[in-house]
Structure 1
Amino acid sequence: MRIPSSPNKSSFLTRKTLLPRVLLTDGHWAKTLAAARSLGKKGIRVTVGESTWIATTFFSRFCGRRWVYPSPYFQPEAFLEEVIRELRRRTYEALIPMEEGTMLLLVQNRKEVEKYTRLPVHQEAFLDRARRKDEVLKLAEKLGIPAPRTFFPRQLEEVRDLLPELPCPAVIKPRLGSGSTGVTYVRERKDLWPAYQRVHRYYPRPLIQEYIPPGGAAVGVSFLFGKDHEPLARFTHQRIREYPISGGPSTLRESIADPLVEKMAEKILRALDWFGVAMVEFRYDPRDGLPKLMEINPRFWG
């Protein structure tokens, strides 16, 4: 197969594209192992990078080359310099960042990276909007997609004034974040104000959201969108277990079909003019039986 001389002269993320070699970051994570296996089984050569030699994906037979780089979190400039060196050394059809921190760093330096390869990730402004829980929930309301009742305080004092109206039990969530980091559950109304102050100290103006009681399924719909903003692939899963059990990343899942949730997930990603991968997460509310939008992960999930 002839390798295009420029990433812009050949469309990427089409159904017939066959990639001779790709570069994956963040080899420590199970999702990177899954990606390496999927690509390797299709005959694609995979180079995997990580900031340590002790990385899960390095031990896979589908990892054709192991590449250790400086930490993107503690040495971001050195990491970027090493990425460019690697892209100059070898020809890659695509560089696929697997973790949010790595992804954001590469997207912020997209102009330099795309001199050498493709970066199949959306523009920074679109990523930022999808990462913000407040923006996503406000968009869902406009689109008629059900979501938990949520308050968006503009200042700390507003929370104290609204205490009688706020839902309880409640969940306090950072406006920007992933996983369970910064998330606090409040069972008693008397604890709401001190809990909000604690979260606000580290994550300014967090959201206050009604707690969806247990008993309803948690469903995620994962998509791959092309540059024409059309879906190329879709996968739906239901959580079986998660950690922490009060709400956090899933530890066991099963594939399912859920046309209602799939339709709503696609609707909100289309509204965002999406490109690349994303996972839209819903939780069924046992009180009314409706799936409620929880968040969008604008990256590889898991």
Structure 2
Amino acid sequence: MAERASSVSATADRAVPGLIVKFGHYPLHHGGVGAIRSLGRLGVPMYAITEDPYTPAASSRYLRRAFVWPTTGTEEPDRLVEGLLRIGRRIGRPTVLVPTDEEAAVLIAEHQDQLAGPFLFPRVDPELPRRLASKQGLYELCVEHGVPSPATVCPRSYEDIEAFAERAVFPLVAKNGEAFVRRARPAVPGTTRIATREHLLALARDWGERPGVVLQEYLPREHAEDWIVHAYFGADSVPRAMFTGVKVRSWPPHAGMTANAYIVANPELADLAARFVKQIGFSGVIDLDLRFDRRDGQYKLLDFNPRMGAQFRLFESESGVDVVRAQHLDLTGRAVPEGEQREGRRFIVENIDLPALLAYRRGGTTTPHAPARASGTELAWLAGDDPLPFLTMLARLGRPGAQHLYRLWRTSRRGISG
């Protein structure tokens, strides 16, 4: 890793800091820690917005300063913009923004003219990130540009749901239409499988006059594979860095955050992502979730996150580039070194992979394409050159969390290499 990092470090602009931008309360976020380490190892000064002074991100040796700013994600946009501008004035020089959630990515895009003075970020159509992060908006874009996706309906009332239930094929999946919009009581807690018409109507009675959900075709797990794409696209919507991989496990199972994944080359998938991004004119970092449906041989786009994904450190090229480094290099006028992705590299999120492993084994789930032995393993929390975030994470989990991670360590120890 040191040789690869040093080659990128030679071209990185250390005069331009990075700022991790996140809204809402989720202090155990390994993606932000990964971004701090990734740029910090290049000598880039790093700053972060944190919920309190005792988050794992705030404890990283690579963080120059944590700006403690508790938010809920429901604040008025003008208040959030003013808060960012205050932080920009404190940093005192142009800074690359690294959003780690949709709220931040959407806010930056919709207020880019106000933020462009103290901050550097990819310029996009102000309305595009919101459409991409919305389940309905993404489905409409997929239909418009001929990108396969699960069949989706967007009911506007309980009556719409009743009418749809008469012709729907069950099981189906319900999702919050704008999952990134924080609500006191979301319609569903996450991706929810609905087995029958009666189950759908019973749930829908609690969704109110405006349901705020999308109902999607269910893609059976026994006939599907979960794939991910991470990339960085320049101002011309051409990829400067592109990676593909297989999601081995997620938590909650099959519908949540990536717990374990591998890099696996997939030129067809990379081409699909590149063509779609070019068609919609997006620039910046992307994190895509797709499901390969073996029944019809299509990769179906489930989620388009217009920002860095929490598992982005899985993906690194032979030249030491990941998507966060690619963005910083590009926005500071540096060339992004070319290089093939590091095949077989594995990523493990220590605090969620063990429960995911047990759940998948109970369900008899297998993962095609995962290599028998990883060429290297990136742990989300534990790093020899930056141990405090891991220890802080343990402390916030408490004694049960520490015992859980010890069991995970013993379970996975033999499989970790590199």
- In the superposition, the TM-score normalised over structure 1's length comes to 0.83
Q: Could you tell me how far apart the structure 2 residues matched to 1:106 and 1:151 are? A: 29
State the Cα distance separating 1:39 from its structure 2 match. 0.8
Equivalenced residue count is 286
Matched, 1:204 2:216: no
Distance 1:203 1:181, change over 3 A: farther
- Answer with 110-119 or 263-272: which moved more: 110-119
Distance 1:220 1:65, change over 3 A: same
Query: 2:149 is matched by which residue type in structure 1?
Result: A
State the Cα distance separating 1:75 from its structure 2 match. 6.0
State the Cα distance separating 1:22 from its structure 2 match. 1.8
Query: 1:24 is matched by which residue type in structure 2?
Result: I
Query: 1:201 is matched by which residue type in structure 2?
Result: G
Distance 1:207 1:66, change over 3 A: closer
State the Cα distance separating 1:155 from its structure 2 match. 3.7
SS at match of 1:101: helix
Q: Could you tell me how far apart the structure 1 residues matched to 2:19 and 2:190 are? A: 32
Spell out the pairing of 1:171-190 with structure 2 (5 A cutoff): 171-178=173-180, 181-190=189-198
Pairing partner for 2:120 from 115, 118, 137: 118
Spell out the pairing of 1:222-261 with structure 2 (5 A cutoff): 222-261=230-269
1:84 equivalent in structure 2: 85
SS at match of 2:63: coil
- Answer with 72-81 or 21-30: which moved more: 72-81
1:146 equivalent in structure 2: 148
**Structure 1 residue runs without a partner (length 5+):** 1-15
- Answer 1 or 2: which has greater helix percent: 2
Distance 1:160 1:66, change over 3 A: closer
2:135 equivalent in structure 1: 133
SS at match of 1:163: helix
Spell out the pairing of 1:159-170 with structure 2 (5 A cutoff): 159-170=161-172
* 8 Å Cα contact 2:156-2:211 kept in structure 1: no
1:258-288 CA distances to partner (integer Å, 9 max, x unpaired)?
1222221222222210011111211122433
2:20 equivalent in structure 1: 24
1:55 equivalent in structure 2: 55
**Structure 2 residue runs without a partner (length 5+):** 1-10, 182-187, 311-418
The share of aligned pairs that are identical, in percent, is 24
1:214 equivalent in structure 2: 221
Q: Could you tell me how far apart the structure 2 residues matched to 1:178 and 1:251 are? A: 20
Q: Could you tell me how far apart the structure 2 residues matched to 1:252 and 1:100 are? A: 22
Distance 1:85 1:160, change over 3 A: closer
Query: 1:129 is matched by which residue type in structure 2?
Result: R
Distance 1:203 1:173, change over 3 A: farther
State the Cα distance separating 1:221 from its structure 2 match. 0.6
Query: 1:239 is matched by which residue type in structure 2?
Result: K
* 8 Å Cα contact 2:148-2:298 kept in structure 1: yes
* 8 Å Cα contact 2:172-2:195 kept in structure 1: yes
SS at match of 1:48: strand
2:346 equivalent in structure 1: none
State the Cα distance separating 1:123 from its structure 2 match. 4.1
- In the superposition, the TM-score normalised over structure 2's length comes to 0.62
Distance 1:78 1:245, change over 3 A: same
1:4 equivalent in structure 2: none
1:287 equivalent in structure 2: 295
Q: Could you tell me how far apart the structure 2 residues matched to 1:227 and 1:197 are? A: 45
**Higher relative contact order by CA 8 Å / sep ≥ 6: 1 or 2?**
2
* 8 Å Cα contact 2:228-2:246 kept in structure 1: yes
